[in-house]
Amino acid sequence: MTRTLDAANPQSDGEMFDLGAMITVLRRRMWTLISSGVLVFLLVALVTLQLTPRYTAVAQVAIEVRQSQVMDFEAVMSGLPPDSAAVDTEVEILRSRQLASAVVDRLGLVNYPEFNARLREPGFVDGIKGVLRGMVSALVPRSGSADDDAEEAARDGVVAALLEATSVRRAGLTYVINIVATSESPTLARDIANAYADQYIVSQLEAKYEATERANEWLNARVETLRDQVRAREAAVAQFRNEAGLLDAEGANITEQQITDVSAQLVLQRAQLAEADARLRNLRQQLDRGASADSISEVLRSDVIRDLRSQQAEISRRRGELSSRYGPRHPQILTVERELADVASQIDLEIQRIVNNLDNDVDVARERVRSLEASLASLRDELAENYSALVRLRELEREAEASRTLFESILARFQQTSEQQSLTESDARVVSMAAQPRQPSSPNVMLNLALGLVFGGLAGIGLVVLLEVFDNGLHSGGEIEGRLGQAHISSVPRIHSGMMSAFSRKQVSPVKYITEKPLSSFAESFRNIRSAIRLNAMDAPIKTVAVTSAVPGEGKTTVTACLGQVAALADSRVLVIDCDLRRRLLTLEVAPDSEVGLLQVLSGDASLSDAIRHLDATGLDVLPLSASQFTPKDVFGSSAFGELLATVRNQYDLVLLDTAPVLAVADTAAIVSQVDATICAVRWRKTPVSLSRMALSALESAKARMLGVVLNNVDLKAQARYGYGGGYYGYYQAYQKYYSQ
């Protein structure tokens, strides 16, 4: 009967590894794990011991949050704001290539082999690079500045090496920045860290000094320009004022001052005119009324009139005296009367003169008023014209004032920056200078060795996992039953298992090995196959058995020949037929000098008895394949082959057919459909599961009666050591006493 197992076996592909399975895997790959781990550890140890000790020095700078204010004016370049972004910006400045270049020039690092690769003694890799570089340079024409380019490239390499040897980190969330320098020399590490700190401070001072100097240069040029501009605009104001006649007098415009003065004079003259006119009218009115001269105020105010009145009074007194003594016609009386008449005449003339004077005063006053009114009108016209020019004057004055204000502010700022240039301060200070390190910072031997152990273990585990992932072969009978769904007939051990077998060139014939060592585990495995054939023949006799495989090299020919040998040693009549028309491996093993064989029998050129070769040592019969050329005819699908099988089934107890791989040759499908049972040989750990499944599927399609699968070329010691196969192989040490080998 055919034994078929369920693919959903507990040991199928979908089963997840438990802890025991993982331990089994590690045991199976123990030497791989140990060797790879030791190799990685030794490599880490070797690299660690070959590394040059390096020393690390740390200098600290702090960003100044509080700025000292010596003088109360704004700086040209303001201080850093106390925020995180500003500190991170300063960290990037410390990492800049420009600052590193300044440190290289300051310490002369171009002359240090540690940083200048050209000064180092070239190693093997460097020699190869030099040869390749020379070949490239020989093909590429050199320019005239090749030496300069080489020097510049060397300096750039030194700067790059310095940047790799230094690191700048902010200390947490503080304003302190750590400058870490690493070098093969402790002194040089200290000098590099301190040079970085000093050069950083210097770069800040230089930046502020250059900014102040540039500001001074600009301000100086601006001051000169504004000075000339102020002069020009003030001159334009003065020139326009003069041309427009807009002269100032005590803070006011001259025309306005003149209008004010003329207006005041006009008011005064109008008052005087009114007064004179009033006096004249009053005098004339009194004269017209015939008022006495003594009652006219204007007459009374005249000194001449008063003198004349005095003379008149004196003359009247004399007349009175003379009248008392003389008669009216007395000459003295007449003389006195003539004097009185003259005085009266003079008084009248004086009164007339007073009237004329008042009239003249009125006319003069009136003329003055008219003159002042004309002057005022003229000044007002002039002022109107001045107001039009004043708009332009105010515009010029505003421009001049703006230029003057800007000039004064720029001049003041220029004076401030000139003073500030001598008071420039850095925004950072050195908190701690780097001290010379006493112990190397790398390599950390103990840490590297510990990491080597860890990495070695991880590498070993990774390699084991990788090997397990790509190890898709079959290892035990349980895997055959679980992953292929076929019965596991037997596991054929490897004849020579051990380290010496790899160095031995002696080839051992499996057939002879069974004959010489019938009690070996190798012979016992084939007796298990024979027993499986007999047990499966309980329902119907199994006399013809085809042995095949998925691909070449899986040991099907060995299984066929050795199975026939074991059956023949058990006094069974056994015939082995070589059906592999292309390779004839069975014939080459047991009957290499055969001249007739299977093809001659099927074609009728030879009889079966003439073609069969009998092995006297064991009584095994072999139907070989002659060395004649391959025939393209379908010999196994012919009636002659069926008749041959019927004939040998009656003559022998067991007929074994060594067929070609089922996936490589179509002949096998024709053979397995005509035999009683089929055995598929699978090589231990070599044949992929996918190919085995494809072979079994092809056999199933050919209507083959599967007897099971034989696991060939098994290292039983490895199975026993790694725990393959469950109980049987687990007790290999106990079972091996039953075998001679």
The 10s digit of each residue's pLDDT in 538-547 is 777 888 899 9
Task: Compute the half-sphere exposure of residue 537: CA atoms within 13 Å on the CB side of its CA.
Answer: 16
Asked if 133 and 122 touch (Cβ cutoff 8 Å), the reply is no
Record the tokens describing residue 692, joined without a space: 């085995």
Calculated CA dihedral for residues 718, 724, 729, 733, nearest 10 degrees = 40
Asked if 87 and 70 touch (Cβ cutoff 8 Å), the reply is no
Parse the chain into domains and list their residue ranges: 19-48+443-468, 252-395, 476-734
Tell me how far apart the alpha carbons of residues 356 and 362 are, in angstroms, rounded to a whole number. 10
Q: At what angle do helices 303-325 and 331-420 cross, to 10 degrees?
A: 160
Can you tell me whether residue 180 is helix, strand or coil?
strand
pLDDT along the chain (741 residues), means of 10: 41 51 71 83 82 86 66 49 77 88 89 83 61 63 58 87 90 88 89 89 78 74 79 79 61 68 82 79 73 58 74 78 75 79 79 79 83 80 69 75 78 66 66 85 79 85 77 76 83 65 57 80 83 79 88 86 85 87 83 82 84 82 77 76 88 89 84 88 84 86 87 75 48 49 51
Q: Read off the DSSP letter of residue 480.
A: I
Tell me how far apart the alpha carbons of residues 545 and 151 are, in angstroms, rounded to a whole number. 84
Q: Hey, which CATH number is domain 476-734, 3.40.50.300, 3.30.70.600, 3.40.1190.20, 3.40.960.10? A: 3.40.50.300
Tell me how far apart the alpha carbons of residues 543 and 548 are, in angstroms, rounded to a whole number. 16
Helices (H) and strands (E) in the chain, counts: 25, 14
Asked if 547 and 576 touch (Cβ cutoff 8 Å), the reply is no
How far, in whole angstroms, is CA 731 from its chain's centroid? Answer: 62
Element (H, E) at 578: strand 574-578
Element (H, E) at 492: strand 488-493
Residue whose pair of structure tokens reads 């700078």 in the numeric block: 61
Tell me how far apart the alpha carbons of residues 130 and 138 are, in angstroms, rounded to a whole number. 12
Cβ atoms within 10 Å, residue 203: 18
pLDDT at 424: 56
Phi, psi of 101 (to 5 degrees): -65, -40
608 in the Ramachandran plot: left (φ > 0), alpha (ψ -120 to 50) or beta? alpha
Measure Cα distances from 2 to 201, 313, 538, 699 in Å. Answer: 92, 196, 11, 13
pLDDT at 139: 61
Angle at alpha carbon of residue 418, lines to 415 and 422, rounded to 5°: 140
- Helix, strand, coil: what percent of the chain each, to 5? 60, 10, 30
Compute the radius of gyration of the chain from its Cα atoms.
Answer: 70
pLDDT at 720: 62
Can you tell me whether residue 373 is helix, strand or coil?
helix
Tell me how far apart the alpha carbons of residues 102 and 100 are, in angstroms, rounded to a whole number. 5
Task: Compute the half-sphere exposure of residue 373: CA atoms within 13 Å on the CB side of its CA.
Answer: 8
Who's near 588: CB < 8 A, 6+ residues apart?
Answer: none
Angle at alpha carbon of residue 34, lines to 33 and 40, rounded to 5°: 90
Alpha helix stretches (DSSP H) within 331-483? 331-420, 445-470, 477-479
Tell me how far apart the alpha carbons of residues 659 and 35 are, in angstroms, rounded to a whole number. 42
Closest CA to 365 of 277, 302, 261: 277
Record the tokens describing residue 238, joined without a space: 């003065």
Asked if 583 and 665 touch (Cβ cutoff 8 Å), the reply is no
Element (H, E) at 177: strand 176-183
Asked if 320 and 312 touch (Cβ cutoff 8 Å), the reply is no
Kindly state the greatest CA–CA separation across the chain: 236
Tell me how far apart the alpha carbons of residues 534 and 521 are, in angstroms, rounded to a whole number. 20
Asked if 653 and 681 touch (Cβ cutoff 8 Å), the reply is no
Instruction: Give the bridge partners for 548, in sequence order.
Output: 680
How far, in whole angstroms, is CA 186 from its chain's centroid? Answer: 33
How far, in whole angstroms, is CA 57 from its chain's centroid? Answer: 28
Residue type, 407: F
pLDDT at 477: 78
Asked if 667 and 578 touch (Cβ cutoff 8 Å), the reply is no
Instruction: Give the bridge partners for 544, in sequence order.
Output: 655
Q: Read off the DSSP letter of residue 54.
A: B
